[in-house]
Amino acid sequence: MNFAGQLTHPVFRAVGEEADRKGQSAFAIGGFVRDMLLGRPSKDIDIVVEGSGIELAKAVAKVLGAGKVSVFKNFGTAMFCHGDMEVEFVGARKESYERGSRKPIVEDGSIEDDQNRRDFTINAMAFRLNSDGFGDLVDPFDGLTDLEEKTLRTPLDPDVTFSDDPLRMMRAVRFASQLGFHVEKKSLDSIERNANRLDIISAERIHVELNKILLSERPSVGFKLMFNTTLLHRFFPEMVDLKGVERKNGIGHKDNFYHTLEVVDNVSETSDHLWLRWAALLHDIAKPPTKRFHPDHGWTFHGHEDRGARMVPKIFKRLKLPMDHQMRYVQKLVLLHLRPIALTKEEVTDSAVRRLLFEAGDDVDDLMTLARADITSKNEAKVERYLKNYDVVVRKLVEVEEKDRVRNFEPPISGEDIMAAFSIPPCRPIGAIKNIIKDAIMDGVIPNQPDDARALMMRCGPKVLAEWKSIQFRLSEGEFNEKGARETFDTWLTQFEV
Ligand code: ATP
Ligand code: MG
């Protein structure tokens, strides 16, 4: 079959002509071919050359007037950008693996050798680029049929393909989720057999695939596949623990694995935000360790949001995911995920809404998306009632934010202001006074205005300082130690009324 008519990008003819001149055979291969045949856009083209890819890359870049050629000598590859396309050149390779080693022995090879070492038949197809036969599809494993039948199949015996590079098992799941393909039975059985080989793969390579699964249209497809093949068990035991329903006295609870996946799919319908999808994935992660059964009121998961937030850094660290603002964002959403719906259980007060706005800050919209996605139940009346309440909270959030602007709350009085007003050095009461002001604003006792805040400071500050002084005196008399002094002060503060 010939696809010359579709290979319109000027790079293809240029590669063919330069390869002709050098007496080499050159092919476009892999993801680009697959995606073109699927009608999916690509940003990169992989070229395989029998012989040196580096020399050919330089020659092609020259005739195209493309920018700088980056050469990676150790890998025998070269790359340049042309327009918005990244074009990578590599010499055809033959790989052989020794059992127990991750590092293949690589030698120069033919296009056939190169196709043999690819992961799936749909990723092993190539277009010939030399002028004689330009656009011919080179498809030794009938990837075209697999593409039409939406099948993922390994070119060689799957046990060989998967044990040579176990990451390919994750790639199988990722393509299934991303492209809506199914994994052919023999390959699927082989994944199950070889799942434990994933242990030799670095966390970085695993999380790249995991993130692609999460970014697919329905991530649940990939997660169910990973569970069923036990790939998930290799790197994500906390998620595996979500699976299952326990019954006591005839009372069961939700299967939190399927519930979680439903929430992830729901979020994915409205947002492409990777970390929001991560938050959905982890929102109930601490349900198994917090699960209790009470004869009177059934199953509870008290504190799972708090415990879950504390599990997030551990999970991120193990998977080598970014530990800074992305992790903190996920942690925050896990911690707050129950708050919007909890609001609806009582009268929605301005004060509770202000606190939620303050704690969620700019992430409040994402938090609401998560909370909305979390409303899943087989009981339609229940879902409808929750959704109605949810709408009430959304309206209230908008109304309160318009009125009070607490979403990006900045304390109107700083620590320096307090030290200056009472001529005191840095000490514990300063934080306490700041808190009193913040709470008063959140509770609507005073408006969010500097003048009102200052007046409150002048009224409450002396009382707080006097109490602190008296506690310091009792400390010096040996009534309690430092820790006891702090606790006494904190207890006094909780009872303090402005
Ligand atoms: P995407 O670009 O969407 O991640 P892709 O299939 O194009 O998917 P790349 O990493 O760009 O993936 O790799 C390009 C090609 O290289 C693949 O289509 C496949 O032929 C081959 N390939 C990549 N990784 C592997 C692997 N681990 N084992 C075998 N072949 C691979
Ligand atoms: Mg690619």
CB-CB contact of 344 with 393 (8 Å) = yes
Cα–Cα distances (Å) from 241 to 146, 169, 195, 224, 280, in that order, read 35, 22, 18, 14, 16
Per-residue pLDDT tens over the stretch 441-496: 888 889 888 899 999 999 999 999 999 999 999 999 999 999 999 999 999 999 98
Length of the chain: 498
123 lines ligand 1 (CB under 6 A): yes
Residues, CB-to-ion distance under 5 Å, ligand 2 = 31
Per-residue pLDDT band for 369 (boundaries 50, 70, 90) equals very high
Which of 290, 328, 291 has its CA nearest to residue 306?
290
Amino acid at 463: K
Question: Residue 357: which residues within 8 A CB-CB, separation 6 or more?
Answer: 364, 397, 400, 401, 406, 407, 409
Q: Which residue is associated with the tokens 């006591």?
A: 248
Q: What is the per-residue pLDDT for 295?
A: 86
Residue 478 CB coordination number (10 Å):
7
165 lines ligand 1 (CB under 6 A): yes
Residue whose CA is closest, atom 28 of ligand 1?
A: 119
Q: What is the mean pLDDT of residues 80-101?
A: 84
Which of 416, 424, 402, 409 has its CA nearest to residue 350?
402
Q: What is the position in ligand 1's atom list of the atom closest to the CA of 171?
A: 27
Strand order in the sheet with 77-82: 70-72, 77-82, 85-91, 44-49, 26-29, 126-128, 137-138
Ligand nearest to the CA of 167: 1
In the chain, what is the straight-line distance between the N-terminal and C-terminal CA atoms, in Å? Answer: 82
CB-CB contact of 282 with 310 (8 Å) = no
User: What's the 29 CA to ligand 1 centre distance in angstroms?
Assistant: 10
Task: Provide the whole-model pTM.
Answer: 0.88
Which of 333, 351, 337, 330 has its CA nearest to residue 390?
337
**Quick one: what percent of the chain has pLDDT higher than 70?**
99
Ligand nearest to the CA of 212: 1
Q: What is the per-residue pLDDT for 261?
A: 98
Question: Residue 157: which residues within 8 A CB-CB, separation 6 or more?
Answer: none
Helix (H, G, I), strand (E, B) or coil at 236: coil
Q: What is the per-residue pLDDT for 256?
A: 96
Ligand nearest to the CA of 33: 1
Residue whose CA is closest, atom 30 of ligand 1?
A: 118
User: What's the 123 CA to ligand 1 centre distance in angstroms?
Assistant: 7
Which of 386, 375, 305 has its CA nearest to residue 338?
305
**Quick one: what percent of the chain has pLDDT higher than 90?**
75
User: What's the 381 CA to ligand 1 centre distance in angstroms?
Assistant: 47
Q: Calculate the CA dihedral of residues 324, 328, 331, 335 and round it to 10 degrees.
A: 160
Using CA atoms, how far apart are residues 164 and 156, in angstroms rounded to an integer? Answer: 11
Cα–Cα distances (Å) from 134 to 6, 57, 138, 296, in that order, read 11, 18, 11, 75
User: What's the 112 CA to ligand 1 centre distance in angstroms?
Assistant: 17
168 lines ligand 1 (CB under 6 A): yes
CB-CB contact of 246 with 264 (8 Å) = no
Per-residue pLDDT for 103 more than 80?
no
Q: What is the per-residue pLDDT for 352?
A: 87
167 lines ligand 1 (CB under 6 A): yes
Per-residue pLDDT for 74 more than 90?
no
Question: In the predicted model, what is the mean pLDDT of the chain?
Answer: 92
**What sign for the dihedral angle of Cα 392, 396, 397, 399?**
positive
Residue whose CA is closest, atom 1 of ligand 1?
A: 31
CB-CB contact of 417 with 382 (8 Å) = no
User: What's the 118 CA to ligand 1 centre distance in angstroms?
Assistant: 8
CA 298-299-305 angle, 5° bins: 145
Per-residue pLDDT band for 101 (boundaries 50, 70, 90) equals low
CB-CB contact of 154 with 119 (8 Å) = yes
User: What DSSP element (H or E) covers 27?
Assistant: strand 26-29
Q: What is the mean pLDDT of residues 161-171?
A: 95
User: What's the 171 CA to ligand 1 centre distance in angstroms?
Assistant: 8
Per-residue pLDDT for 346 more than 80?
no
Residue whose CA is closest, atom 7 of ligand 1?
A: 31
CB-CB contact of 9 with 85 (8 Å) = yes
Q: Is 30 left (phi over 0), alpha (psi -120 to 50) or beta?
A: left
30 lines ligand 1 (CB under 6 A): yes
Per-residue pLDDT tens over the stretch 395-434: 889 988 888 787 878 888 999 999 999 999 999 999 999 9
Q: What is the per-residue pLDDT for 99?
A: 63
Which of 463, 413, 408, 458 has its CA nearest to residue 435?
413
Per-residue pLDDT band for 157 (boundaries 50, 70, 90) equals very high
Q: What is the mean pLDDT of residues 254-271?
A: 96
Q: What is the mean pLDDT of residues 269-278?
A: 97
Per-residue pLDDT for 204 more than 70?
yes
Strand locations in 64-132, DSSP E?
Answer: 70-72, 77-82, 85-91, 93-96, 105-108, 126-128
